[in-house]
Amino acid sequence: MSTLPPCPQCQSEYTYEDGSNLVCPECAHEWSATAGEAVEEGAKVYRDAAGNILQDGDTVSVIKDLKLKGGGGVVKMGTKVKNIRLVDSDHDIDCKIDGFGQMSLKTEFVKKV
């Protein structure tokens, strides 16, 4: 009996290891063998614009200029945001940006540094 998890795409039980990845021979889906261990069952996974998994305390960089609501200015592309906090709301990241104060960002506009 295999101790490997079933394929997350097609639920096939015939998965096998290929280096550090798991592979499904039926649908050819590949995924990281360690990705499932770090995430609790049923927990929401937050990913940046490049698909990297984000966690509380990570440092991210803004990937495009973001206009602030209320005419408060613009957060420029490349701005680093340290010590993010992930929340379950319409904006996934709560953070503090120097010069702007407390704000919320969406994960689709940041990349992990």
* Tokens (6 digits) for 89: 């709301």
pLDDT of residue 1: 45
Q: Which two tokens stand for residue 104?
A: 């919320």
Average pLDDT score over the chain: 85
Asked if 5 and 14 count as a contact pair (C-beta separation under 8 A), the reply is no
Q: Which domain does 25 fall in, by range?
A: 1-38
* CATH code for position 13: 2.20.25.10
Alpha-carbon Rg of the chain, whole angstroms?
18
Q: Is 98 a domain residue?
A: yes
Instruction: Kindly give the confidence (pLDDT) of every residue in the chain, 113 residues in length, as a single tens digit, with 9 standing for 90 and above.
Output: 458 888 888 888 888 888 778 888 888 888 776 655 544 455 788 999 988 889 999 999 999 999 988 777 899 999 999 999 999 989 999 999 988 889 999 999 999 99
* β-pairing verdict for 60-62 and 93-97: unpaired
For the domain that residue 79 is a member of, what is the CATH number? 2.30.30.40
User: Would 19 be classed as within a structural domain?
Assistant: yes
Question: What total of structural domains would you count in the chain?
Answer: 2
Q: Is residue 96 part of a domain?
A: yes
d(CA 49, CA 108): 5
Q: Are residues 65 and 32 part of one domain?
A: no
